[in-house]
DNA sequence: ATGTGTTCCTGTCCGC
DNA sequence: TGCGGACAGGAACACA
């Protein structure tokens, strides 16, 4: 699930129970996530205050009073659960422990944050705050799609000469960071560009036109996530999963929703991932 | 340097 | 109802 909008929703949901609060205790049930968790993680977390919660690409970054930053990546199946606190105006009691609860943070005021990740593609790390941009997972990330450095000129230059399909290029976090499989499909649909088109074959105009579309798609999804946080009425305090309707993703065989198109949504596999697109209006 | 395929894990769903 | 295979929102890594 977690692409940039979901990660941002998780960050916003964690903010009230983390920012300005103390980590009183940390449980590590399984240290072997995608990579081993950092040495002495519990000790380095215990007693630390959370100064601020940030997001870079699909990473949540919690700056601690110790001068270290806790990096959180959700991978494919990572979930964050808040309990012992109000979420969206509703108090969520502590649930029974579940199978893949790998890390549990016990915060001040009795709140608890549980990181659950069945596939264990997620990760956590601790790294000096001042050196965060040099963290090995962060340093080669491309620009933030919602930031100022990401503009039409940049996009055109980044795609120029690329032989790879545009679908693959937009998934490449070095080109632009934060998009995943779902939102790349949605972006290409809105742009009317076939996922099979070679990135370098796009005109500078069409490449540049991707920028406001990418921003809109992400912004819309973040807003949908925000409203799901506001109206939190689910049984648990799980963050980041919100019902969002997609125009093409997972709609193989359905009719294209673009006015007067009448095409059919197709699915192909590109570099091992499904691409959904309209064969008629995406060129 | 680039582009492509494989790999890490578990869970779910679909057809036989 | 069981079983095998495909597939899942990520991304590093090994290889041509």
Q: Which two tokens stand for residue A10?
A: 């998780």
Give the pLDDT confidence of A98-119 residue by residue, as tens digits: 999 999 999 999 999 999 999 9
CA distance linking residue A225 with residue A74, whole number of Å: 16
CA of A158 to C1' of B1 (A): 15
CA triplet A38, A43, A46: central angle to 5 degrees? 115
> Which residue, among A162, A163, A147, A159, has the nearest Cα to A191 in the 3D structure?
A159
- Whether A122 has a pLDDT exceeding 80, the answer reads yes
Q: Is A247 a catalytic residue?
A: no
Give the pLDDT confidence of A30-72 residue by residue, as tens digits: 999 999 999 999 999 999 999 999 999 999 999 999 999 999 9
A11, A58, A79, A112: the catalytic one is A58
Q: What structural domains and CATH numbers belong to chain A?
A: 4-134 (3.20.190.10), 152-278 (1.10.8.50)
Q: Are A228 and A242 in contact (CB under 8 A)?
A: yes
> How many helices and strands (H and E) does chain A possess?
6, 13
Give the pLDDT confidence of A194-204 residue by residue, as tens digits: 999 999 999 99
Q: Is A58 a catalytic residue?
A: yes
pTM for this prediction:
0.96
> Which residue, among A83, A105, A14, A12, has the nearest Cα to A235 in the 3D structure?
A83
CA of A243 to C1' of C2 (A): 33
Q: Is A97 a catalytic residue?
A: no
CA of A184 to C1' of C2 (A): 38
Give the pLDDT confidence of A153-189 residue by residue, as tens digits: 999 999 999 999 999 999 999 999 999 999 999 999 9
Give the pLDDT confidence of A228-272 residue by residue, as tens digits: 766 655 556 678 766 678 999 999 999 999 999 999 999 999 989
């Amino acid at each position: 699930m977690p692409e940039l909008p979901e990660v941002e929703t998780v960050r916003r949901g964690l903010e009230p129970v983390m920012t300005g609060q103390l980590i009183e205790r940390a449980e590590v049930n399984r240290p072997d996530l995608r990579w081993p968790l950092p040495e002495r993680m519990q000790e380095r977390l215990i007693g630390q205050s959370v100064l601020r919660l940030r997001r870079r690409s699909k990473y949540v970054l919690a700056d601690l009073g110790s001068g270290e930053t806790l990096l959180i990546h959700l991978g494919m199946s990572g979930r964050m659960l808040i309990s012992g606190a109000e979420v969206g105006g509703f108090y969520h009691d502590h649930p029974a422990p579940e199978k893949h609860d790998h890390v549990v943070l016990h915060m001040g005021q009795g709140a608890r944050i549980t990181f659950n990740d069945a596939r264990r593609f997620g990760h956590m790390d601790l790294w000096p705050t001042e050196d965060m941009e040099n963290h090995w997972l962060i340093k080669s990330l491309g620009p933030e799609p919602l930031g100022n450095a990401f503009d039409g000129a940049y996009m055109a230059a980044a795609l120029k000469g690329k032989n790879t399909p545009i679908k693959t290029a937009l998934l490449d976090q070095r080109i632009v960071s934060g998009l995943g499989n779902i939102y790349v499909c949605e972006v290409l649909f809105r742009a009317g560009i076939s996922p099979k088109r070679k990135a370098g074959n796009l005109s500078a105009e069409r490449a540049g036109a991707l920028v406001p579309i990418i921003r809109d798609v992400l912004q819309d999804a973040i807003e949908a996530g925000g409203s799901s946080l506001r109206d939190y009425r689910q049984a648990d305090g799980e963050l980041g999963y919100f019902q969002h309707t997609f125009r093409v993703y997972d709609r193989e065989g359905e009719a294209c929703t673009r006015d007067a198109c009448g095409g059919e949504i197709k699915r192909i596999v590109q570099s091992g991932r499904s691409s959904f697109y309209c064969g008629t209006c995406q060129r």
